[in-house]
Amino acid sequence: MKKWLSMLLLVSMTASLLAACGSSNSNSAEKGGNEAGSGGTKKVVAWAWDPSFNGAALKIAEDLYKKDHPDFQLEVIDMAKADLEQKLNTNLAAGVKDGLPDIILVNDPNIQKYVTAYPGTFADFKEKVDFTQFSPYKVDALRIEDKIYGVPFDIGVTGMFYRVDYLEEAGYKAEDLENITWDEYIEIGKVVKEKTGKYMATINPNDEALTSILLQSAGSWYITPDNKGNFVDNPAMTETLRVYKAIADSGIAKPVTGWSEFVGSFNAGDVATVVSGVWQIASIMDAQDQSGKWRVAPIPRLNVEGGVNASNEGGSSWFVLEESANKDMAIDFLASTMGSSTEFYERFLTENGGVGSFIPAFSSEVYNQKPEFFGGQAIYSDFTRWSTEVPGISLGMYTQEAKDALKNELPNILNGADLTQSLANIQKHFGQQVQ
Amino acid sequence: MGSKWNKSSLMGWQFVLLPSALILLFSFYPMLQSLLLSFQSGKGTVYQYVGLANYGRLFSDPMFKQAVLNTLLYLIVQVPIMLMLGLVIAYFLNMPKLRFKGFYRTAIFLPCVTSLVSYAVLFKSIFAVDGILNKMLMSIHLIQEPVAWLMDPVWAKVVIIAAITWRWTGYNMIFYLSAMQNIDPSVYEAASMDGASKTRQFFSITVPMLKPIILFTAIISTNGTLQLFDEVVNITNGGPGNSTMTISQYIYNLSFVYTPNFGYAATVSYAIVVMVAVLAFLQLKVGGEKQ
């Protein structure tokens, strides 16, 4: 009797366990985005990381696409960026494809990494989208060998946001900020600090955003197009680190340790300028009480050959999984909305303040709007004009490794170590990291 | 008699069969797989067998050395401080005359039930440049300029150590407290009659009687510190430079932040396994009962 009971217990436990496995399997298959639902509706699943930005863009695209394809359905799964990347990596490494979506958002520095590490995983868009319509540097990032993997999405063209009230108090006019070099920027910063008591900028030795902006503005990057370290004998790199140290030494920069402190510094009115990507507009406008006090100028340039007053920070693109069951539909969806529709970019800018890299949209009326917050400056048309000046670079596949190698040496550089020696150290370190 | 034993043993096996199978499948199989993985290298899914090359790379990898040094520093500095503190607090909470015992116990134990991420974020904001600590120190004129705690390689480590000490002291205290309550009060009574001071009693009675528990907490703390991840990632993200990065964070970076090289990441994981095993063995040798 007892034996019989225990057997029953065992069987029921096993059964319930297997049932649990089974049900989770069928769930993930559904999430994978096979034709789900009844009545012939087609569902495409997309992963994105910011519901109020790229998630919202997908919703606009869905709205537009549904006009011609009424049975189209899009499911947006929102995750933190790090979670999304981790999930993609583990799924692909494990070879489990049915948990993956049809469409996925990829941060630009990750493009080469994913395509090289997981060959054959992502669909080619070369014949599906007219890439001459996009800012060239965005397309360069997507082109690997003779394929173009995805649709360019938002850009991170940079500008120098500044507090017009602080700078006027220090005796500067808008013209004084046009086409300056970083050394001139530091000089202005010293005056601002002296006359207003406000910092000119923020500095975070643990964040490589500023060095990235400086490098790209001179058409250079941490790594060469063939994925070698680009630290030694690179004038742009040397100048970047010299400027970085000069900013740190001059006392014009407020030290911050993280993103929220960085945003907090300008929302609280502690700094006079913010050099950042165009997507920073949203955070700047969060401080409603500062309306009318902000303007945007081009960023300062590096005093080296090829240095321009325009750069880029961040940006992302949409990829489609090659083995997705709805590959063709997903490609068609992206190509006919974000890949070719001016209307999409108009709505994306109006509703979410997002600036894409689709050139035909730049001449649209909404790009000429003059937000009250920026004192009536036509900031979007300024940003798009600068975006055409950004030097195209190859991001390569080891950006993160190179940044970490640099980060490792940065405290020594800031403490006054010999720059040539430090650069050699970084190069060596990087070489060891990517073997 | 023999057949009866067999029958009940068979019954026992039926019960442990499923859990054993599950442990084999979900615990031992991945261990074996990751060991095999540690002999491969490549990017993402493009792998090849490289023999012991990953292990060779380990010894010339400056980032790995840095991570190991950081982790060992946390271990050497933090674990003794925390265990001593736990022991002392437990001793005071065990005093019969102490009032509001329940309140103190709860208050000291509470940190270790808070979420790892939320307390890390809290520490980060306390030690920010315009955080509460700087404001306090400035208001009592101890410092003139705010200190950038998290941007100094030394102070950042101190903050991490303070954070883990704050969270885990209460956890160890509970072990000591329960062990102390098992010590017969008459032992102390006898000691008092013989004229032993409170301090003498603590070092000559309490500590020796708690030896197995101290050993146990030392081993789990070592284990935990070697796997330290959340605090560092959330407070400093390994910075400034890589001066607070731990081995676990390095493994995470190799797998998910850099171009994924799961083979090498598995090798680094096995380095932790070896270190945990060696340290636990040493601790047992030094602190264990001699048979």
Per-position DSSP letters for A181-204, written without gaps between them:
BHHHHHHHHHHHHHHH--BSEEE-
Chain A residues with beta carbon closer than 8 angstroms to that of B256 = 82, 85-86, 89
User: Pick the residue with more confidence: A22 or A314?
Assistant: A314
Over residues A11-30, the pLDDT tens digits come to 665 555 555 444 444 344 34
Cross-chain residue pair A257–B151, CB shorter than 8 Å? yes
From A407, which residue of chain B is nearest by alpha-carbon distance? B241
- Encode B184-210: b = buried (16+ Cβ within 10 Å), e = exposed: eeeebeebeeeebeeeebeeebbeebb
Alpha helices per DSSP H over A136-258? 136-142, 164-169, 182-196, 209-217, 235-250
What is the pLDDT, as a whole number, of residue B288?
Answer: 65
Q: Cα separations (Å) of B48 from A434, B36, B256?
A: 16, 11, 19
- Of A409, A424, A414, which is closest to residue A242 (Cα–Cα)? A414
Q: Would the pLDDT of A200 be above 90?
A: yes
Helix (H, G, I), strand (E, B) or coil at A243: helix
Indicate if the pLDDT at residue A1 is higher than 80: no
Give pLDDT, residue A105: 94
A·B CB contacts under 8 A: 115
A359: Cα within 13 Å, side-chain hemisphere: 14
Computed on alpha carbons and rounded to an integer, the radius of gyration of chain A in Å comes to 25
The answer to whether A200 touches A185, Cβ cutoff 8 Å, is yes
Give the residues across from A72 on adjacent strands. Answer: A42
Q: List residues bridging with B72 in a β-sheet.
A: none
Cα separation, B257 vs A335, in Å, equals 29
More confident of the two residues B190 and B45 = B190
Chain B positions touching A433 (Cβ under 8 A) are 61, 63, 258
d(CA A423, CA A244): 14
CB within 8 Å of chain A, chain B residues 60-119: 60-63, 66
A400–B257 CB contact, under 8 Å: yes
Q: Using the beta-carbon criterion (under 8 Å), do B259 and A117 form an inter-chain contact?
A: yes
The pLDDT of residue A40: 53
What was the pLDDT predicted at A13? 57
Instruction: Report the pLDDT value the prediction gives residue A211, as an integer from 0 to 100.
Output: 94
User: Per the structure block, which two tokens stand in for A396?
Assistant: 């390569």
Q: Is the dihedral of CA B103, B106, B109, B110 positive or negative?
A: negative
pLDDT above 80 for B89: yes
Chain centroid to CA A272: 24
Q: How far apart are CA A102 and CA A99, in angstroms?
A: 10
Gyration radius (Cα) of chain B, Å: 24
Q: What is the pLDDT of residues A119-134, one digit of tens each?
A: 889 999 999 999 999 9
The residues near A399 (Cβ < 8 Å, ≥ 6 apart) are: A109, A113, A221, A222, A223
Residue A320 is predicted with a pLDDT of: 95
Whether A206 and chain B come into contact, CB under 8 Å, resolves to yes
pLDDT per residue over B99-110, tens digit each?
888 899 899 999
Residue in chain B nearest A409 by alpha carbon? B241
Looking up tokens 């600090």 gives A193
Tell me, what's the pLDDT at A353? 79
Give contacts of B69 with chain A, Cβ < 8 Å.
none
Q: Count Cβ atoms within 10 A of the Cβ of residue B111 and give its class: 0-12 exposed, 13-18 middle, 19 or more buried.
A: middle
Cβ–Cβ under 8 Å, residues A54 and A316: yes
Which candidate, A374, A320, A330, places its Cα nearest to that of A114? A320
Give A44's strand partners. A74
Burial classification of residue B274, based on how many CB atoms lie within 10 Å of its CB (0-12 exposed, 13-18 middle, 19 or more buried): exposed
Mean pLDDT of chain A: 87
* B100 φ/ψ sector (left φ>0, alpha ψ -120 to 50, else beta): left
Percentage of the residues of chain A whose pLDDT score is greater than 90 = 54
Closest chain B residue to A203 measured between Cα atoms? B151
pLDDT at A367 over 60: yes
Alpha carbon distance B163, B185 (integer Å)? 35
Lookup result for tokens 């869905």? A62
Q: What pLDDT sits at residue B150?
A: 87
pLDDT level of residue A93 (50, 70, 90 thresholds): confident
| pLDDT for the residue B98 | 85
* Number of alpha carbons in the 13 Å side-chain half-sphere of residue A80: 3
Q: Quick one: pLDDT at residue B170?
A: 93
Position A84 scores a pLDDT of 92
Average pLDDT over residues B154-169: 93
Inform me whether the C-beta atom of residue B243 falls under 8 Å from chain A C-beta atoms. yes
Neighbour-count burial of A319, counting CB atoms closer than 10 A to its CB (0-12 exposed, 13-18 middle, 19+ buried): buried
Which contiguous run of DSSP H or E holds residue A46?
A: strand A42-48
> CB distance from B19 to chain A under 8 Å?
no
Q: What is the pLDDT of residue B171?
A: 93
Q: Which of B183, B248, B258 is nearest to A113 (CA)?
A: B258
Position A149 pLDDT exceeds 90:
yes
- If one compares A36 and B248, the residue with the highest pLDDT of the two is B248
Question: Min CA distance, A413 vs chain B (Å)?
Answer: 11
- Over residues A243-263, the mean pLDDT reads 89
Rounded to whole angstroms, how far apart are CA atoms A44 and A325?
A: 9
Residue A4: what pLDDT? 63
pLDDT band at A427 (very low <50, low <70, confident <90, very high): very high
Residue of B18, B43, B130 with shortest CB distance to A116? B43
Q: What is the dihedral of CA A33, A38, A42, A44, to 10 degrees?
A: -30
Please report, for chain B, how many H helices and E strands are present, in that order: 15, 2
Please, which residues have CB within 8 angstroms of residue A91's CB and are 6 or more apart in sequence?
A97, A99, A100
pLDDT at B284: 84
In this structure, of A26-35, A162-171, B146-155, B197-206, the range with the lowest mean pLDDT score is A26-35
Q: What is the DSSP letter of A299?
A: P
Please check the confidence at residue A414 and state whether its pLDDT lies above 90.
no
From B149's Cα to the closest Cα of chain A, the distance in A is: 9
pTM of this structure: 0.81
B window 112-171, beta carbon within 8 A of A: 124, 128-130, 148, 150-151, 153
Q: What angle do CA A162, A164, A166 make, to 5 degrees?
A: 95
Average pLDDT estimate for A409-425 = 90
Give the C-alpha separation, A352 to A270, whole Å: 26
Residue A9 confidence (pLDDT): 60
Say whether B45 and A119 touch across the interface (CB within 8 A): yes
Q: Give B250-281 pLDDT, tens digit per residue.
A: 999 998 888 888 899 999 999 989 988 998 88
Per-residue pLDDT for B137 more than 60? yes
What is the DSSP code string of B195-263? Answer: T--HHHHIIIIIHHHTHHHHHHHHHHHHHHHHT--HHHHHHTTT-STTTT--HHHHHHIIIIISS--HH
Distance (Å, rounded) from C-alpha A26 to C-alpha A17? Answer: 15
Q: What pLDDT, on a 0 to 100 scale, did the predictor assign at position A37? A: 41
φ/ψ (deg, to 5) at A150: 130, 175
Q: Is B35 in CB contact (< 8 Å) with chain A?
A: no
Burial class of residue A140 in the structure, from the number of CB atoms within 10 Å of its CB (0-12 exposed, 13-18 middle, 19+ buried): middle
Are the CB atoms for A239 and B185 separated by under 8 Å? no
Would you call B227 an interface residue with chain A, using a CB distance cutoff of 8 Å? no
Residue with tokens 């709205």: A63
**How many angstroms away from the CA of B227 is the closest CA of chain A?**
19
pLDDT at A335 over 60: yes
Residues facing residue A78 across a β-bridge: A48
Q: Which residue has the higher pLDDT, A290 or A412?
A: A290
On chain A, the residues whose CB falls within 8 A of the CB of B44 are 89, 92-93, 114, 116-118
Determine contact, residues A413/A422, Cβ cutoff 8 Å.
Answer: yes
d(C-alpha A120, C-alpha A115), whole Å:
8
CB atoms within 10 A of CB A420: 11
Tokens of A190: 């010293």
pLDDT of B186 over the 70 cut: yes
- Residue of chain A nearest B10, judged by CA positions: A3
More confident residue, B83 or B287: B83
Output the six-digit token pair for A296. Answer: 């945007």
Three-state DSSP class for residue A333: helix
Q: Return the exposure string of A375-402: e unless at least 16 CB atoms fall within 10 Å of the residue's CB, then b.
A: bebbbbbbbbebbeebbebbbbbbbbbb
**A364: CB partners within 8 A, 6+ apart:** A342, A345, A346
Contact B276, B219 (CB under 8 A): no
pLDDT tens, residue by residue, B34-86: 999 999 888 877 888 988 889 998 988 888 999 999 999 999 999 999 999 99
Please name which of B224, B227, B243, B98 lies closest in space to residue B167, comparing C-alpha atoms. B224
Count the helices and strands in chain A (H runs, E runs): 17, 11
Q: Is A94 on the interface with B (CB under 8 A)?
A: no
Dump pLDDT digits (tens) for A33-83: 444 444 456 789 999 988 878 888 999 999 999 999 998 999 999 988 888
pLDDT, tens digit (0-9, with 9 covering 90-100), for A372-402: 999 999 999 999 889 888 888 888 889 989 9
